[in-house]
Each structure stands twice: as C-alpha cells, then as structure tokens.
Amino acid sequence: METKNKAKGYFRTFLNIAAGAGSVIGGAYIFSRLKEKQNTEARLERMEQIVEEISSPEEQKGKE
C-alpha cells in the first residue's frame, strides 16, 4: 500500500515537472513568433520607406 502511495507521489511530481516544462516551451515559442512578426513588420515598413524615397525623385522629374 505504501509503495502505491509513493508511486502516486512520484507520478504527480513528474506531471508537475512536465507541465512546467511544457508551459516554458510553449511560452518561448509564442514569444519567438511574436518577435518574428514584429521583425517582419519592421522590415516591411523600412522597405515601404525606401520605395517612397526612390519614387519621390522620379515623380518630381516627371512633373518638371
């Protein structure tokens, strides 16, 4: 009977550790995806600025 209780205790400890590890890994994954999305948005904004800078002189040449 005592062995059965020890086994339950070990199993419960194992489940707690597994749940903690899973939450850490899940949180890290979500954080990395959010950071990747922000990096992508920043790159797109920078490309838009470059395109606007390039197109502005061409538009001015066409008007003159």
Residue whose tokens read 């949180």 = 27
Residues 23-35: pLDDT tens digits?
999 999 999 999 9
* CA 48 to each of CA 10, 40, 61: distance values in angstroms, whole numbers, following the listed order: 57, 12, 20
Count CA atoms within 13 Å of residue 31 on its CB side. Answer: 6
pLDDT of 64 strictly over 60? no
**pTM greater than 0.85:** no
Distance (Å, whole) CA 13 – CA 10? 5
pLDDT of 3 strictly over 90? no
pLDDT of 13 strictly over 60? yes
